[in-house]
A and B are shown apart, each in its own frame.
Chain A
């Protein structure tokens, strides 16, 4: 039975590794300038974790196969080098491995979070509420009008609680249900939560950030490929959470300008 168990572990290990080796399921194609570093980090970690997985499961299976049963005449013996060798090995090998992963990982993380957006980055505000995203562009004046929470209303479609009558900055603000951005232009994303926690997860952009009610956050990124991508909510926000999504269109500059004009005309 021990041998059968060892074979079972081996079979499970190999079957588990096949989809990874064949890349059957993988993240959607990266379309951001910062995303490659994240993908590289994922690949490096997959190599290290994958090899550790194979090595440790195979070793476990081998020892179960080899050292089961009473085996009369054979004395119990200890692993060569004893615990000290294994402890030293774990500290040195795993220590170096995790230290290296940690250092390189900080670089990939820092590309997004430890750099500032350039002064000419295009500002876009995204507001999350149960169970939809809405987007706002500042219009020709380049300034967002203030949000008045008491004026926010789904019923009147005043999603951001704007008061153009009192706030001149709000007059040219453009509110949309889909997000569009120009390709290869840096975007400064301003994140605002209307009600509860949500998340802004765009797998293709390698962007994932929670909305924090009461705390407006900022992200910056550049999309490098024209296309239509999905934005989904990944933070449990209520019964409609599963269906909270929006589309992000990455357009050429000319198409983006046209889109913005059309949206402005519909306000």
Chain B
């Protein structure tokens, strides 16, 4: 822990337009740049999902203008199976990497970690700037795949070898498309490593006077845990992507076995391992699930505490449970591979930690629900999305019970049950965390208030909408409906098309409801009423500075922290709360030993 005098910013105030708005060293600008990138990616991902859903509901419907997206994939605006798979792959890639990793972790983390720690900036601002611009390059490279060769890869975001490693002989997009995908993801990994290498030392070393680790707010704990996961997970995915590229361009055979025959051509590879890619990918892939969801857990805890006007039942239990999720996430990745052909004993060994991970998850949920008991809950857009997060996380978490068991995966593996499960948890719940954080922190980030009425309408449409989209997918999975199909020619799947049509209508409705958010966001950004410094009567350090904060966060003040982060339900000169940096002593039962 350092006094902020020693943790002073490594740069002065920006003086040029470029330094202020483009290649900014200011963590707050970088956070907002990440947020903007996340918004751009979520629009792309959402539009792609609409196209996919329309096709799944009405396979023979010509989508006007679809031919603009692909030279050969949409004759007469009808979607071909390969275009469906390409859109599906890009939907997942943009959503997982450029939305679910970027927004809750990189965007909010960048903006708020230095402020929550009372620092003036990240420890390595130049690295931080490079983190965003590297990620931006990765985003552009990924977009490029729509315009090169025969389009993006169709191999899914998991890019299982050897389909991804043998080149264009395996299908459209499997040549240049895969190389572009792997290059983009490798660059993305570098960007996130730069980010984690700033987050961790900031939290460990730049905390202001009086700010012990246990006095950190929960989102900052969540970003700290996530950074540690990102550091280890992305550093495995990056070399895996490089090996995949080498299999394409250098004739190596890391992931391609001998004697494979594709299109009657014996492939010039030998000795590689099909399962090696899956092990490397999922060693990254499962922690990535928690990279997406743990920041949301921190954010909704923060939002709920402020709106409940009381702290969580136990700050430390929540932190320990999030830490347990992180540690266990490395031991459970094999549940993605129960029927992959790995040793069936391994499936059992991976099954038990997967079942075990339900214990910290349950503790977190019970702490949230138990903390609501006796609260004075304020209902606003931010708290509605936080409460929605809990409901969605319960639903998604419980379907994990099924998928943790190898015997049940015999029925449910690779079906829509899996699609429902991961959308409820890492996708929709995480996005509810982003929305909750946005409605809560918008005044601090942009200095203006969002429209509450529009925020609530947005919530109701989205909450009901996502249940209509994803809950029926459980039923499809139980009926054996395999995912990643562009249509359903199997006899036993034919009766399920009606369910797909219902889901498509719900998805279009839910997607359209997001226009309310975009309107509210843009309108409030420019014309919203000016935000006070502490609109929600919060206690953590972001509320001790102006909205938005000055370039050095606290206007030259050296912050000193006197309290735990969530001193609510007390009697003080300000009301029922005490700011972390207030020296006022109040009688409280909340401080944990």
Residues of B within 8 A of A69 (CB): 376-377
| Chain B residues whose C-beta falls within 8 Å of the C-beta of A238 in the assembled complex | 154, 163, 170-171, 174
Residues on A with C-beta less than 8 A from B263 are 130
Residue interface bits B334-374, CB-to-A below 8 A is 1, else 0: 00000111001001100110011011001101110111111
A 117-134 to B, binary, CB cutoff 8 A, 1 in contact else 0:
000000000000110000
When distances are taken between beta carbons in the complex, the residues of chain A under 8 Å from B479 are: 25-28
Check if B81 sits within 8 Å of A239, measured CB to CB.
Answer: yes
Q: Tell me whether B359 and A94 are in contact (CB under 8 A).
A: yes
Assuming A199-B339, A217-B341, A236-B85, is B317 touching A83 (CB within 8 A)?
Answer: yes
Chain A: minimal CB distance from B477 (Å): 9
Once the chains bind, are B484 and A241 in contact (CB under 8 Å)? yes
* B405 on interface, CB distance cutoff 8 Å: yes
Q: Is there contact, CB below 8 Å, between A242 and B478?
A: no
Does B310 count as interface, using CB distance less than 8 angstroms? yes
How far apart are B252's CB and chain A's nearest CB, in angstroms? 15
A199 and B410 alpha carbons, distance in the complex (Å): 11
A153 at the interface (CB under 8 A from B): yes
Please pick, from B166, B317, B384, the residue contacting A196 in the complex, using a CB distance under 8 A. Answer: B166
Is the pair B373, A86 in contact by a Cβ cutoff of 8 Å? no
Are A206 and B485 within 8 A (Cβ)?
Answer: no
> Which of B310, B370, B478 is within 8 Å of A86, CB to CB?
B370
- Flag if B257 contacts A8 (CB, 8 Å): no
Q: A101-B405, A149-B261, A234-B413 are in contact. Are A76 and B374 (CB under 8 A)?
A: yes
Inter-chain contacts of B166 with A (CB < 8 A): 196
Q: Which residues of A contact B264 (CB under 8 A)?
A: 152-155
Asked whether B327 is an interface residue with its Cβ less than 8 Å from the other chain, the reply is: no
The 8 Å CB contact of A76, one of B82, B404, B490, B569, is B569
Q: How large is the interface on B (under 10, 10 to 19, 20 to 34, 35 or more residues)?
A: 35 or more
Docked Cα-Cα span, A56 to B82, in Å, equals: 42
Q: What A residues does B398 contact at CB under 8 A?
A: 49, 52-53
Interface membership of A177, Cβ < 8 A: no
A51 to chain B, nearest CB (A): 10
Does B160 count as interface, using CB distance less than 8 angstroms?
yes
In the complex, whether B406 has a CB less than 8 A from a CB of chain A is yes
By a CB distance below 8 angstroms, the chain B residues around A90 are 359, 362-363, 366
Bound form: Cα–Cα A59–B368 in Å: 11
B373-411, CB < 8 A from A: 373-379, 384, 387, 390-391, 394-395, 398-399, 401-402, 404-411
Asked if B266 CB lies within 8 Å of chain A CBs, one says yes
Complex interface: stretch among B178-186, B267-275, B514-522: B267-275
Of the stretches B26-34, B42-50, B220-228, B463-471, the one at the interface is B463-471
Judged by a CB distance under 8 angstroms, whether A240 is at the interface is yes
Counting from the closest, the 4 A-B pairs by CB-CB distance are A214-B257, A77-B374, A83-B314, A113-B344
- 26 contacting pairs across A/B (C-beta < 8 A): A5-B379, A25-B496, A26-B478, A64-B387, A68-B378, A70-B376, A78-B310, A79-B373, A82-B313, A82-B314, A83-B370, A87-B363, A90-B362, A91-B359, A95-B359, A105-B351, A130-B170, A195-B260, A195-B262, A208-B413, A213-B162, A230-B490, A236-B155, A239-B154, A241-B85, A245-B490
